[in-house]
Amino acid sequence: MSTSKIIKAPYIQAQAASIFIAAGSTPQEADTVASNLVMANLSGHDSHGVGMLPRYIDAILEGGLKPNTAVKVTLDGGALIALDGQQGFGQVVGEQTMALGIERAKSLGSCILALGRAHHLGRIGHFAEMAVAQGLVSIHFVNVLSRPVVAPWGGGDGRFGTNPCCIGVPIKGQPPFLLDFATSRVAQGKMRVAHNEGRQVPPGYLIDPQGHPTTDPGVVVVPQKSGEGAGLFGALLPFGEHKGSGLAVACELLGGALTGGGTWHQPASTTRSVFNGMLSILIDPARLGTQNAFEHEAMAFVDWVRQSPDAAGTEHMQLAGDPERAARKLREREGFELDEATWQEIVAAGRKVGVSL
């Protein structure tokens, strides 16, 4: 079991930004990326937090991730926009994409955005939060081009990524519904965190390179060293059996094929960059003519669901978005844990670009 330290958000955000600046980002870009990663930690998703920094630095040094790159509109059809992320930071090109889509949805009532070739977009909920804050419904299908780390239901090896799906719905007078999840049983980054912490994971998450169930998160983090399957990775399983697997394939078809960003159909690559394609659908309820009914019905339904009594053995019933809001409150106040292995990886990444922490 490795040790961990408690980190305060402003401290790690400043350190991360200094590393991104040394790697070539403008101070503004460095701040956008660092604050996005720290917000993932604060939201309870350490898988998409500052632990991603070493991978981003490697990706810059390899040339796959291009700092200071803006999104390029390749087709502007009004409420239908295609965009090329041009291998820029997903945190940056993703925000630029959403800003354009929000403006269009507000003026036209809806907007479909097809973004390809963005470097890792991080926590997809961030983009839904941008739209929901403007009163819009925000739906996202995302594919991941990096390593086929998730097995299709019934399959014995990885064929696609953790392909996240996200739905944000504003609820009048209440915090928004914000469903944001990987279609794998768990996010790949959570296996990295568990591996770094020396933890086993519950059964049902993983298979080894031979397709056998395992609880060792290392099978999807490091190539297996010996025996049958040496040099290969195992795979994550999809959530919800054939249903999650089907949703993952839909994310690949919509986020990868339809956006033009590309799908995964090749053996694993060893490069450190990871690309996302994202199909986003924004709807302005105020322009749909159902605003009053929507506000009333959404509020009434959410209240109704929240009145469900706690099931035996559970802490309390929550709606999507609640856990992240609760984590933010706690972690902003008390800081969050960063395991020693992850911290050392960040220190080493800093060293690669001449920053000593």
Q: CA-CA distances (angstroms) from residue 12 to 35, 42, 51, 284, 348?
A: 9, 11, 11, 37, 15
CB 306 to ligand NAD: min, Å: 11
Q: Using alpha carbons, select from 227, 186, 232 the residue that is nearest to residue 206.
A: 186
- Structure tokens given for 196: 């770094």
Cβ distance to ligand NAD smaller for residue 275 or 343: 275
Q: Which of residues 313-332 bind ligand NAD (CB under 6 A)?
A: 318-321, 323-324
344 contributes a contact to ligand NAD by CB under 6 A? no
CB 142 to ligand NAD: min, Å: 6
- Structure tokens given for 199: 């933890």
Q: CA-CA distances (angstroms) from residue 63 to 58, 59, 154, 277, 351?
A: 9, 6, 36, 19, 18
Count of Cβ atoms closer than 10 Å to residue 215 Cβ: 14
CB 326 to ligand NAD: min, Å: 10
Cβ distance to ligand NAD smaller for residue 13 or 183: 183
From residue 35 to residue 64, the character string flagging contacts with ligand NAD as x (rule: CB under 6 A) and all else as - is ----------x-xx----------------
Taking CB under 6 A as the binding criterion, the range among 16-24, 104-112, 119-127, 342-350 that sits at the site for ligand NAD is: 119-127
From residue 184 to residue 223, the character string flagging contacts with ligand NAD as x (rule: CB under 6 A) and all else as - is --xx--x---------------------------------
From residue 13 to residue 32, the character string flagging contacts with ligand NAD as x (rule: CB under 6 A) and all else as - is --------------------
Q: CA-CA distances (angstroms) from residue 335 to 16, 32, 330?
A: 16, 20, 8
Cβ distance to ligand NAD smaller for residue 320 or 347: 320
* Count of chain residues binding ligand NAD (CB under 6 A): 28
Task: Answer for the pair 59, 274: CB distance below 8 angstroms, yes or no.
Answer: yes
SS3 content of the chain, % helix, strand, coil (to 5): 40, 20, 40
| 348 phi and psi angles, rounded to 5 deg | -65, -40
CB 275 to ligand NAD: min, Å: 9
Q: How far apart are CA 284 and CA 330, in angstroms?
A: 32
CB 76 to ligand NAD: min, Å: 25
Q: Which of residues 123-182 bind ligand NAD (CB under 6 A)?
A: 123-125, 144, 162, 164, 166, 178-182
Q: Is 227 exposed, middle or buried (0-12, 13-18, 19+ CB in 10 A)?
A: exposed
Cβ distance to ligand NAD smaller for residue 80 or 320: 320
Which residues of the shown chain bind ligand NAD in the complex (CB under 6 A)?
A: 45, 47-48, 120-125, 144, 162, 164, 166, 178-182, 186-187, 190, 276, 318-321, 323-324
